[in-house]
């Protein structure tokens, strides 16, 4: 029997770009395929585009929820996914027609729990492949998780990968913060027996000015710090701190350098006179993330209300997010120590 693949597409105010994404998924050579599009509280015509595709294509299923960011939207879609394999595609990106056929074939041949492929970066009319993926075709999950701490070797994007559904269990793996991939991908890869890689580029990542990376603000800087804090807690909780602390500190340094450049030089809404004070606050926050974790903190799943979540899927979606919490059960913000 052919292998069902579930694809989760979080969508927020992307009515003008969503058709390109969904058309590329409907053009996949792999079947069967279920496409789960999650409207994360859009205020433009995204919901109408989704409804149109659902009415014309039975493999397109819809979820609608209040705006909670990409992580909880992915979690909601994942909670109803029925496929043996799961993939994530962002609504402003698109994929090659053989994307899932090739990755499923590699997974079935290698027995890998996750398959990683190359990708194209698009900026306007310019495009370039990501050149630095490891040349090995198969890695242990432990080695892949360590490499995912180095954005130059194996970026922690969720979307250029195919996952065995059983690997993700019933939990909600993503937090409700920006840059949620940084906080999630190493944790998932560490569970794998093996991870397969292909340097062929099947995913098209489209950078745009009104995306997270194109509309930088102060909150994004501290969201990076929150994501790094979640990585730190996970390394400690899983006993990987000793082996990966050097890689983790390199990740803090590299992401800190990139965000510092964004704060100082990228065109954005932060006034020039406030950029140096913001940079000092951000750098101070990063310094606190390289030291020991305060006692009594751990990662846990925070349940979110399902009252306003609607779907056309046969299963009821479940809304949740990963947070750092105190041992007494009191929640903290995702970026708390």
Instruction: Write out pLDDT tens, residues 36-62.
Output: 999 999 999 999 999 999 999 999 999
335, pLDDT greater than 60: no
Q: Helix/strand/coil (H, E, C) string of 20-82?
A: HHHHHHHCCCCCCEEEEEEEECCCCCHHHHHHHHHHHCCCEEEEEECCCCHHHHHHHHHHHCC
Instruction: Return the pLDDT at 105.
Output: 97
Domain residue spans in the chain? 5-211, 218-288
Q: In whole angstroms, what is the distance from residue 218 CA to residue 244 CA? A: 29
Higher pLDDT, 245 or 324: 245
Are residues 5 and 33 in contact, defined by beta-carbon separation less than 8 angstroms?
A: yes
> Is it true that the peptide bond before 32 is cis, omega within 30 degrees of 0?
yes
Backbone angles phi, psi at 175, to 5 degrees: -85, 165
Instruction: Write out pLDDT tens, residues 280-302.
Output: 999 999 999 987 777 777 777 78
Q: What is the mean pLDDT of residues 191-211?
A: 89
Instruction: Return the pLDDT at 211.
Output: 54
- Indicate the CATH number of 5-211 among 3.40.50.1970, 3.90.550.10, 3.40.50.300, 3.90.1310.10: 3.90.550.10
């Amino acid at each position: 029997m052919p292998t069902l693949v579930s694809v989760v597409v979080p969508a927020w105010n992307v009515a003008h770009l969503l058709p390109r994404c969904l058309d590329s998924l409907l053009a996949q050579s792999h079947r069967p395929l279920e496409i789960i599009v999650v409207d994360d509280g859009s205020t433009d015509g995204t919901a109408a585009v989704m409804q149109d595709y659902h009415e014309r294509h039975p493999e397109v299923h819809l979820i609608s929820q209040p705006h909670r960011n990409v992580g909880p939207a992915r979690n909601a879609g994942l909670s109803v996914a029925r496929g043996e394999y799961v993939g994530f595609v962002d609504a402003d990106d698109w994929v090659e027609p053989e994307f899932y056929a090739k990755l499923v074939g590699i997974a079935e041949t290698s027995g890998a729990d996750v398959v990683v492929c190359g990708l194209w970066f698009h900026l306007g009319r310019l495009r370039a492949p990501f050149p630095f993926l490891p040349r090995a075709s198969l890695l242990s999950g432990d080695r892949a998780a360590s490499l995912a701490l180095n954005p130059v070797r194996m970026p922690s994007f969720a979307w250029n990968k195919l996952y065995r559904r059983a690997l993700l269990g019933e939990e909600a793996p993503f937090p409700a913060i920006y840059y949620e991939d940084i906080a999630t991908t190493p944790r998932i890869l560490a569970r794998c027996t093996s991870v397969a890689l292909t340097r062929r580029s099947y995913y098209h990542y489209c950078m745009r000015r009104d995306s997270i990376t194109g509309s930088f603000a102060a909150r994004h800087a501290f969201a990076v710090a929150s994501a790094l804090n979640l990585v730190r807690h996970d390394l400690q909780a899983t006993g990987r701190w000793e082996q990966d602390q050097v890689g983790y500190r390199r990740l803090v340094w590299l992401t800190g350098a990139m965000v510092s450049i964004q704060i100082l030089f990228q065109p954005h809404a932060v006034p020039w006179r406030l950029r140096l004070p913001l940079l000092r606050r951000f750098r101070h926050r990063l310094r606190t993330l390289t030291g020991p974790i305060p006692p009594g903190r751990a990662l846990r799943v925070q349940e979110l209300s399902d009252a306003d979540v609607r779907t056309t899927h046969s299963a009821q979606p479940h809304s949740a997010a990963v947070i750092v919490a105190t041992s007494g059960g009191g929640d903290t913000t995702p970026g708390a120590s």
